[in-house]
Structure 1
């Protein structure tokens, strides 16, 4: 597996160092390097990118601002991020935008490789789950094991900071899995599941009833957030005469 990478840093020496580390790592493929986050954003919008090594403190657009722009994308087209910065106070913010890792400058190749291997594990797991989805199931990490979950049994997925609750048909208690709602959104097929709220993904097959601004899933009713309302209304429009 090759992970397509972009490196963004406005410090020339730091930019070249990370590029050299990328080129040294067999499973990484350097697609471009930038000293401007705005230039990087233009490239990312026009090209397939899996992973960004991203500095935070930059003059035109900060790395954190770029991460928030990318996080706002719907669907499965948002690259993952490993932050590279000299300022450790941004660690919590990096966590909020679902960064894979946080490299504190100055760092050596060993630390870089450790973060990159974390990215490799993430992308390998995503491929594995996508292959499973072709068979109508996925595997979720629950405590210390992988649990097979049939897609048809999922009622909804409820997101928290670093884990999700997967509510299943016929099960009183949801499964708790150490992943994010954004990752689940990327994995679940768009023709069967839809994100309707910053904290909820629902199964379209499991909908019981719909009102003006809420959807009843049987186990609970969920309000449709403004940011997701247009797409949801498009879905239900074909059933309205």
Structure 2
């Protein structure tokens, strides 16, 4: 099966072994070898792959932390020397979990699992950006919480954190508002340096302010035209 992938691992020997196994055992196209999370994020911003091999224990940003920054539809095969992360890894769109050192027998088993997965599910038919009907997982403190996007009322930026607000709860997420904005499609729209709203949840617009539930949110001049263009398209 023709699939594309990248390897993300800070250990050159581990990268070389995976590259050899891929070349010897599959018809997959290895598009890149990334030796840290930031390099991987830069590559994935402008390139598409079917799935990634992702090491968990990396400096600066671990594989688990990187996984929270990726689009929710990113398919992952985790690689690690530790079994302790296995349960947590399946909070993401995980196809397999390979323990190092990776043997040929175990890799061939993973190949069968990966190709069986893609035989049933064609990711190219799905949009890259998060859609409103999707669920995704949010890391808040030490907990990964499942959230349905359509339930979100708004996001509010607070210094190095973003407050995610639904009708039932509020979560603090260690992300920049700009990073979250890049993963969202309508009905989410930026209306202020500190706010992204779900316009399907707003009740009224008055005096350059949006009302969602009991929250009064300002619409700044910077974002007003784009927001009103969207609203006017739906106005009778």
Q: TM-score, normalised by structure 2?
A: 0.57
Q: 1:197 to 1:49 in 2, by over 3 A?
A: closer
Unmatched runs of 5 consecutive residues or more in structure 1: 131-185, 203-212, 214-221
State the Cα deviation string for residues 108-154 of structure 1 (Å, max 9, x = none).
12211222222222222223995xxxxxxxxxxxxxxxxxxxxxxxx
Give 3-state SS (helix, strand or coil) of 2:68's partner.
Answer: helix
Q: 1:45 to 1:17 in 2, by over 3 A?
A: same
Comparing 41-50 with 119-128, which one deviates more in the overlay?
119-128
1:201 Cα deviation after fit: 7.5
Unmatched runs of 5 consecutive residues or more in structure 2: 137-146, 154-165, 171-179, 190-197, 200-226
1:152 is matched with none
- Give the one of 102, 105, 112 matched to 1:110: 105
Structure 1 CA distance for aligned equivalents of residues 25 and 47 of structure 2: 21
Greater share of helix residues, 1 or 2?
1
- Give the one of 106, 116, 121 matched to 1:121: 116
- Give the one of 230, 233, 240 matched to 2:188: 230
1:34 is matched with 34
2:2 is matched with 2
Q: CA RMSD in A?
A: 3.6
Contact kept? 1:197, 1:224, Cα under 8 Å: no
Trace 1:1-241 onto structure 2 (pairs within 5 A): 1-70=1-70, 73=71, 78-127=73-122, 130=125, 186=126, 194-195=132-133, 199-200=147-148, 230=188, 232-233=198-199, 237=231, 238-241=233-236
Structure 2 CA distance for aligned equivalents of residues 100 and 196 of structure 1: 18
Q: TM-score, normalised by structure 1?
A: 0.56
